[in-house]
Amino acid sequence: MRYRFVLACIAGLTSLAWAQEPTTPTQFGEGKPAKISAHSSLQEIFQAKVKQEWEAIKNKDKKAYAELLADDYQGVEVDSRGERNKLQATNELAESNVVSYTLWGFKLIPLPPDGAFVIYESTIQFPPKSQVRYSRVYITELWMKRAGQWKEVHYQETHVK
């Protein structure tokens, strides 16, 4: 009797594990997630938003960058200069010296009804005469739907060696 109960428990747990549909982190712009899931269209939306964000940073486009950020935006970067609000973050673009970047390891965690947690890594290239030529950062972003539009509310970078 005990043996059957243990087997039934194992079978139940195994079926629950198989029912899970994890998505594998993907390379930006290179194919679909390993498993198609209900939130694959959200993944496409946020991959595009993150690319827009990095293009605005690279091109020092204050207007495009500001349109992605919520009015109550808060960001923390690896430069140890503390937290930034929307105005500070957009004004810093003039000082930006990003030559190119690579985005990868994208993962999306939907936060119903109107939120999303985005995780990815970026390798950033700076000009040849810069003190630091490359930087690799692990990034998390919180996005919320505000007045029908997705806005970035929080940004956090962590340096990766």
Confirm whether 148 is domain-assigned.
yes
Return the SS3 of 70. strand
DSSP symbol at 39: T
How do strand 69-76 and strand 149-159 relate by DSSP bridges?
A: parallel
Domain enclosing residue 87, as ranges = 21-159
pLDDT of residue 136: 97
Rounded-to-integer distance, Cα 17 and Cα 14, Å? 5
Confirm whether 75 is domain-assigned.
yes
pLDDT of residue 40: 81
pLDDT-based confidence at residue 159 (cuts at 50, 70, 90) = very high
pTM value?
A: 0.76
Return the SS3 of 154. strand
What's the whole-number average pLDDT of the chain? 84
Region 14-33: mean pLDDT is 46
pLDDT-based confidence at residue 80 (cuts at 50, 70, 90) = confident
Instruction: Tell me the CATH number at 109.
Output: 3.10.450.50
Number of structural domains, the chain? 1
Rounded-to-integer distance, Cα 48 and Cα 157, Å? 19
Confirm whether 70 is domain-assigned.
yes
Confirm whether 2 is domain-assigned.
no
**Residues 43, 137 contacting (CB under 8 angstroms):** no
Phi, psi of 38 (to 5 degrees): -65, -25
Rounded-to-integer distance, Cα 38 and Cα 98, Å? 35
CB contact set of 107 (below 8 Å; sequence gap of 6+): 23, 25, 118, 119, 120
Confirm whether 46 is domain-assigned.
yes
Confirm whether 150 is domain-assigned.
yes
Confirm whether 99 is domain-assigned.
yes
What is the torsion angle, in degrees rounded to the nearest 10, for the CA atoms of residue 62, residue 66, residue 67 and residue 73?
170
AA identity, residue 73: Y
Confirm whether 11 is domain-assigned.
no
Return the SS3 of 73. strand
